[in-house]
Amino acid sequence: MEMLVELWDNLSNHDHANWWIVVPFAVLWMVWLMRNDIIFKGKNMDETQLIFLVRYRLAWWIRSKSRDEEISVESLTADMRLASILWKAKIKVRTMLKWEPPPLEFLKMNVDGASLVEKTGCGIGGVMRDHSGMELVKFSEASEINPPAITELLAINRGNDIFMASTWACRSRLIVESDCAQVVDWVVGRKVAPIVWGPVVNRLRGVISSKGILIRLIPKCCNMEADRLAKTGIS
């Protein structure tokens, strides 16, 4: 019962988080399955396993309803409050017209890459903000001349490195936002990156997985500050 109340509170106390209505069904179903194992297979009651299986099944259900979002089943299992992010994204993903702050316990790093039409220079830029919109860190740097997608990949990598080297990495989680669909697909594994950039992509995936970093695709109009910083970095 305490487990049910905990899961219910974690989901229902967040705006727009309607996933909580399925918690009782997940609990009852797993209790029924465990009851059968105890009666018919002679297994012992394992409360820890029951709690994990309930959270895991619930995470899979939530994730299946939000296929376009980059929150893993493992992250949801560990922290059910992430469901509120999925619900908000499900509602706003097609109507998002301006930058929005992250949830209270998160920071948001917006990154972008830019290049001159003549392909004589490239730049990367990014800005990290907290839930109030306060700017914590900015970067604006020149980059080697590369195709636009690769420049964007380098911007994401640089933003991650800055966050991981900061004191905020010990007490906050990070959301990285990019307006390049191709690169987001590479990083989250929906598409295969070019072989030459495989090591960079794999390194990013490792950091994202181990630190629970979220990668999200946003419209260009929501990434204007990062775009400005990237263009400034060219010079």
**Statement to judge: residues 162 and 79 lie in one domain:** no
pLDDT of residue 130: 96
**C-alpha distances out from residue 209 to 60, 111, 214, 215, Å:** 17, 19, 9, 11
CATH number assigned to the domain comprising residue 149 = 3.30.420.10
**C-alpha distances out from residue 188 to 14, 32, 40, 46, 132, Å:** 26, 35, 42, 34, 27
232 burial type by CB count under 10 A (0-12 exposed, 13-18 middle, 19+ buried): middle
Number of domains within the chain: 2
Residue 56 lies in a domain: yes
**Statement to judge: residues 145 and 217 lie in one domain:** yes
**Statement to judge: residues 110 and 79 lie in one domain:** no
Q: How far apart are CA 210 and CA 196, in angstroms?
A: 23
pLDDT of residue 111: 98
pLDDT of residue 167: 94
**Statement to judge: residues 126 and 66 lie in one domain:** no
Q: Which domain holds residue 20?
A: 2-92
- Say if CB 24 and CB 1 are below 8 A apart: no
pLDDT of residue 88: 58
**Statement to judge: residues 41 and 83 lie in one domain:** yes
Q: How far apart are CA 235 and CA 231, in angstroms?
A: 8
pLDDT of residue 46: 75
**Statement to judge: residues 86 and 131 lie in one domain:** no
Domain boundary among 49, 69, 92: 92
Domain boundary among 47, 65, 92: 92
- Say if CB 85 and CB 122 are below 8 A apart: no
Residue 97 lies in a domain: no
**Statement to judge: residues 130 and 75 lie in one domain:** no
**Statement to judge: residues 45 and 73 lie in one domain:** yes
**Statement to judge: residues 129 and 227 lie in one domain:** yes
pLDDT of residue 16: 43
| pLDDT tens for the 235 residues of the chain, in order | 555 555 555 554 544 445 666 777 777 888 888 888 888 888 887 777 777 778 777 877 777 766 545 566 666 777 766 766 665 555 454 455 678 899 888 999 999 999 876 656 899 999 999 999 999 999 999 998 888 889 999 999 999 999 999 999 999 999 999 999 999 999 988 888 888 888 889 988 888 888 889 999 998 889 999 999 999 999 7
**Statement to judge: residues 181 and 72 lie in one domain:** no
pLDDT of residue 66: 63
Residue with tokens 């690769």, as numbered in its chain: 150
Domain boundary among 52, 69, 92: 92
What are the φ and ψ backbone dihedral angles of 218, each rounded to 5 degrees? -130, 160
